[in-house]
Structure formats: structure tokens, C-alpha cells
Amino acid sequence: MRLNILIGGKAGQGINKVSAIIAQTLLSQGYFIFNYRDYPSIIRGGHNFNVLSISDKQISSHESKIDIIIALDENTKQVHKNNINKNTIIIDYKPFLNLGLNANIALAGALAKVLGIEKQILLTQINSNLKGKPYLKSSLEAATAGYNSQKQTNQLKKLNNKPTLLSGSKAISLGAINSNIDLYIAYPMTPATNALHELAKKQLEHNFMAFQAESEISVVNMALGSSFAGAKTMIGTSGGGFDLMTEGLSMQGISEIPLVVYLASRVGPGTGIPTYNMQGDLDIALRAGHGEFPRIVIAPGDPTETIEITNQAFYLSEKHKALTIILSDKHIAESEFSSTIKPQKPIKVKVNREVPGEKNTIIKATSYEHNQYGITTEDPTIAITNANKRLEKYKKIQQACTQFPMIKTHGKKNSKNLIIAWGSPKGAIVDAIKDLDYKFLQVIYMKPLSNQIKKEMQKANKIILIESNLTGQLGRIIREKTGISIKNRILKYDGRPFRSDELKKQLERELRK
């Protein structure tokens, strides 16, 4: 069973509120949901919509086919008319106009009836959401009015699953807290901003600090300072801010101060399409910063992996005095995924290095080439020794990363048709290939790259690369590493994530080729 519910309206009308109430109600009934959020860079007005996909089985994507539309304005029906067919149920805002701010609660009520959720279950959910609010009573009345206005067309009975709901931004925060983060420093930039909000909200409870600096240049330099002083530090941004941080990454390379960077991509170049999705920043994550120095780049495919990878990033950075970049994007950061899979138990992150302030310790770290005391040198022998050490360090890092899942495989284990992808397309791919003859190789560690990739490729007859970008950036690094160039590519770069039903059709076509 699978339904896609589109909730659309103007920014500020409470679209997220409707989807949150329904999502929580459905979760409490044991259903899996996936909530895609599509919004332009407009604070009030415009057209925003969510697609809430629901199923009795694990899903991690939404579809293009829409079963139910909740229209908070006229425009919503217009914009999505191509996805509407004669069976689509449209729940209109007009009958609830007189309810003011409660209109969206009434629409949630109407949707609950259509889905066949018992009224009492919905009211209990609203009760717990709005407990103590002065408008609780009128909201309950609005929900009831909405409920009574519709005909029931589905029968969602209670299931035994117990999924929990998580966005990638919350997952970053959880992963950081699991790692005992001391300091998060950032400058607001979509889609990394929600991680800042989330961590700022939790800082007092977990006794760490979230600090907003005056620019990303300042962010990265402050982070080098605080990490030098012994604080487990993470910074976060999107592509544009990451560009500004570049000098600090290079300084990390020579000063060897542990640093974790959360890079949540959006559509570039330039300011691009700020609130939409693109996997366009793999190249800069891998190479930004002048000079030659080691780094680790890890790309989660969903929030659960984000929790685990954030912890791995802290661990690896601290253990190897390394730069680790967590490469995510808007689709993971801002979509909500339900899952019954628990993240792995976090590894303890310990600061074992000398830091300033410790008894009888003088410690110098520097952006210059330096001798063992941290004092500047231009000596060619030391220059060679230190450069070689950086190379050695990368070998150690390569070895250390093999303790974590650097790749994962999904789908039919023995299939000769291999899909290779990384990051956010994971959800749509996994859902699309459920009934198809495909094996899906998910690359998680982008640097170092797993040796397994070549072996998997050699076993396959047909290889398809899937990425949300223009040029197939993973394809390039795989060719660099393995010498194999992937000819079949499904690349999407309209800023919108893959929808699993459309992707399934494309993949079926590929099988017939």
C-alpha cells in the first residue's frame, strides 16, 4: 500500500503543520512516511508544498503520482494539475475559510477522515501537540469539523511497526551530541541552517555551545582556534560558505588541528537556486584548499546514516588530527524520513592530544611549514619530510576507514545490473528497484574510496551511474580510481530530487536496452 499526499499553499500558511499532525498520527498507527518539502526562497506567499508519502512498508522517497491534494489556495490545484487524475481526491480550503488560523487543523481533520483514521486518534494527537495552548479547544473543534466534512475512502488500520521520524538536520545534531560535541560554529545558509537551529536549541541541555560568527571565513578560523584549544568542534555551511572556508581547510592540512565540516549542498553555481537540491559540490569537498594534504569525505544517504557518519567524522578527525567533511544536501537535510532502523552505538570520541593551558605545556600550531616544535622553517629537508608525513598520514586514514561501512549494497545481491550512486538519491533508488533486477552499490566514503568498488564493477554486466548533478562527479572519481568509465548515466539537475516511480520507469527502460 502506498499513498502520496500533496499539501500545497503559500509560505506562512502552515503547510508543515498539517503534514506534521498527519505524519505523527500515522506514525503512531505504525505507518512509514516520507515527507518531501518543496519551497522557494520566499518567506510569505509564493507556492510551497510538501509531498507526504505513506506506506505500510519502509519507504524513503516520494512519487510523482498524487492520490490526495490538500489545497490551501487556488494556485495549488493549478500548479499540480499534471499530477492530478480522475481518482485524485482534492480537499479544498474554501469550506474552512472562516476558521482563520485553525483552517489547516481542519484540513488535517479532513485528511484523517479520507484516510480512515479514527477521529479519536487524531484528536489525541492534536491534544498532545497543542497541550496548554489557549486555542486548543477551538483547534479540536476545527479538526472535528474538517473530519465530518469528508467521505472515508481508505481504511488505514493500526499496524505493529514503531518507526521514528527524522530529518537530516536533526540527525547531524544527534550525531554531534552522540560524539560529545563541545562547539558548533556556523553562519546561516540554507540548507545547513536547520542544523544550527537544532544544535542551538539543544546546547544548554547537553552543555555544549552553538555560536554564530560574522562570516564563514571567521567560522573556520574560530573553529581552528577552538579545536586547537581542545574543544571538539564542528562547523556547518552550504557550498557558498564552504568556498569561503577553503583557506581554513588548507590551514588544517598543515597545522593538523582536528576539524569536522558539515557541508549541505544546494543548487549552484553562485547563489543558484537556494532552497533546492543538487549534488554539485563533491568536487570541491574532495579538493578545496591549496596545497596537498589528506582529508576524509563521507556522504550519508539518509538521516540514520547521518547520525552514524557524524560520529565517525568526529572520531576520525580527533584520532588522526584530520579534516573530515560530512557531505550532505538539501534533500537529506530537510526531508523527513521514518525508519525502524536504530543507528549503531556511537564510538567514544576522546581528545588525547596536548592542548594549551595544560601544565608545563607549550604547544605551537601553525599555517607555516614548521619543525617539531611548531617553529617556522624553510629547510628543504624538513619540507620533504613533512610532505611525506602528510602522505603517510593519508595511508593511515585509508586503513582506519575500512573499519566503517565505506560502501553498502542494496537490492538483488546477485544481479548483474549494477547501479552506482551516493548520497541523497539512495532513498528513491532503493524504493525504485524493489521489484527490479538490480543491485545498488551505495558509495559512502568518497575519500578514501573503497577498493571494493572496482570488484563490484567487474562482476557486473551493466553499470548505471545515478547522480543529482550535471556532470556525474562520482563517475569521474571512479574513473580516476579504477580506470573504468561508466557510460550509462541517469543525471538529474533540475534542483528536484528523484521520485521513485519515475526513476523506476527509467530503470526499467535501461533493462530493456
Partner 1 sequence: MNPPSLPGDPLRTTKKITWCPSCPDNMILESSQKAIESLIKQGHKRESFAMTCGVGCHGKIFDYLNISGLYGLHGRAIPLAIGIKLGNPNLNVIAFAGDGDTYSEGMAHFIHACRFNPDITLIVFDNQSFSLTTGQATPTSQLGFKTKSEPLGEFNQPLNPIHLALSANATFVARCNARDLDHTQQTIEAAIKHKGFSFVEVIQDCMVFNLETNGKDDRMYKIPKPQKLSRALKLARQFDYNQSETKIPLGIFYQTHRNTLYEEWPQLQNLKKKRISWKQLKR
**Dihedral of alpha carbons 37, 41, 42, 47, sign:** negative
Q: Three-state SS for 210?
A: strand
Q: Please provide the size of the chain in residues.
A: 513
Question: Using an 8 Å Cβ cutoff, are 192 and 237 in contact?
Answer: yes
Question: C-alpha 463: how far from its chain's center?
Answer: 25
Residue 364 binds partner 1, judged by CB under 8 A: yes
Please say which residue, 208 or 262, places its beta carbon nearer to partner 1.
Answer: 208
For β-strands 323-329 and 407-411, DSSP reports them as unpaired
Residue 196 binds partner 1, judged by CB under 8 A: no
In eight-state DSSP terms, residue 342 is P
What is the spatial distance between Cα 29 and Cα 27, in angstroms, rounded to a whole number? 5
Q: Per-residue x/- marks for partner 1, 252-291, CB under 8 A?
A: ---x------------------------------------
The least distance separating partner 1 from the CB of residue 207, rounded to whole angstroms, comes to 6
Q: Which residues contact 69 (CB under 8 A, 6 or more apart)?
A: 5, 6, 7, 8, 76, 77, 80, 84, 88, 89, 90, 91
Residue 153 binds partner 1, judged by CB under 8 A: no
Residue 359 binds partner 1, judged by CB under 8 A: yes
Calculate Rg over the CA atoms of the chain. 24
Please say which residue, 34 or 208, places its beta carbon nearer to partner 1.
Answer: 208
The least distance separating partner 1 from the CB of residue 41, rounded to whole angstroms, comes to 25
Residue 385 binds partner 1, judged by CB under 8 A: no
Q: Per-residue x/- marks for partner 1, 174-193, CB under 8 A?
A: ------x-xx-x--------
The least distance separating partner 1 from the CB of residue 271, rounded to whole angstroms, comes to 20
How many residues bind partner 1, per CB under 8 A? 53
Q: From the list 45, 100, 291, 356, which residue makes contact with partner 1 (rule: CB under 8 A)?
A: 356
Please say which residue, 375 or 391, places its beta carbon nearer to partner 1.
Answer: 375
What is the spatial distance between Cα 305 and Cα 298, in angstroms, rounded to a whole number? 10
The least distance separating partner 1 from the CB of residue 198, rounded to whole angstroms, comes to 17
Please say which residue, 131 or 359, places its beta carbon nearer to partner 1.
Answer: 359
Q: From the list 64, 83, 129, 367, which residue makes contact with partner 1 (rule: CB under 8 A)?
A: 367
The least distance separating partner 1 from the CB of residue 425, rounded to whole angstroms, comes to 36
Q: From the list 11, 121, 136, 229, which residue makes contact with partner 1 (rule: CB under 8 A)?
A: 229
Residue 383 binds partner 1, judged by CB under 8 A: no
Question: C-alpha 75: how far from its chain's center?
Answer: 29
Q: From the list 90, 217, 286, 382, which residue makes contact with partner 1 (rule: CB under 8 A)?
A: 217
Please say which residue, 82 or 372, places its beta carbon nearer to partner 1.
Answer: 372
The least distance separating partner 1 from the CB of residue 288, rounded to whole angstroms, comes to 15
Q: Which residues contact 176 (CB under 8 A, 6 or more apart)?
A: 184, 199, 234, 310, 314
Query: Cell 592540512 sits at which residue?
Result: 253
Reference 510, options 487, 478, 482; nearest CA is 487
Question: C-alpha 79: how far from its chain's center?
Answer: 27
The least distance separating partner 1 from the CB of residue 361, rounded to whole angstroms, comes to 6
Q: From the list 366, 403, 451, 458, which residue makes contact with partner 1 (rule: CB under 8 A)?
A: 366
For 395, phi and psi rounded to 5 degrees? -65, -40
Please say which residue, 221 or 386, places its beta carbon nearer to partner 1.
Answer: 221
The least distance separating partner 1 from the CB of residue 395, rounded to whole angstroms, comes to 23
Residue 91 binds partner 1, judged by CB under 8 A: no
Residue 251 binds partner 1, judged by CB under 8 A: yes
The least distance separating partner 1 from the CB of residue 287, rounded to whole angstroms, comes to 19
Q: Per-residue x/- marks for partner 1, 415-454, CB under 8 A?
A: ----------------------------------------
What Cα–Cα distance (Å) separates residue 351 from each residue in 178, 180, 257? Answer: 15, 11, 11
For 119, phi and psi rounded to 5 degrees? -55, -40
Kind plus residue range of the DSSP H or E element containing 391: helix 380-401
Q: From the list 224, 309, 325, 332, which residue makes contact with partner 1 (rule: CB under 8 A)?
A: 224
Q: From the list 232, 321, 330, 331, which residue makes contact with partner 1 (rule: CB under 8 A)?
A: 232
Residue 205 binds partner 1, judged by CB under 8 A: no
Q: At what angle do helices 452-459 and 473-482 cross, to 10 degrees?
A: 90
Strands (E), 80-150: 89-92
Question: Using an 8 Å Cβ cutoff, are 323 and 317 in contact?
Answer: yes
Question: Using an 8 Å Cβ cutoff, are 385 and 276 in contact?
Answer: no
The least distance separating partner 1 from the CB of residue 59, rounded to whole angstroms, comes to 36
What is the spatial distance between Cα 18 and Cα 142, in angstroms, rounded to a whole number? 13
What Cα–Cα distance (Å) separates residue 344 from each residue in 178, 407, 409? Answer: 11, 16, 18
The least distance separating partner 1 from the CB of residue 205, rounded to whole angstroms, comes to 11
Question: Using an 8 Å Cβ cutoff, are 254 and 368 in contact?
Answer: yes
Question: Using an 8 Å Cβ cutoff, are 145 and 99 in contact?
Answer: yes
Residue 355 binds partner 1, judged by CB under 8 A: yes
Residue 102 binds partner 1, judged by CB under 8 A: no
The least distance separating partner 1 from the CB of residue 397, rounded to whole angstroms, comes to 23
What residues line the site for partner 1 (CB under 8 A)? 180, 182-183, 185, 203-204, 206-209, 211, 213-215, 217-218, 221-233, 247-248, 251, 255, 351, 355-368, 372-376
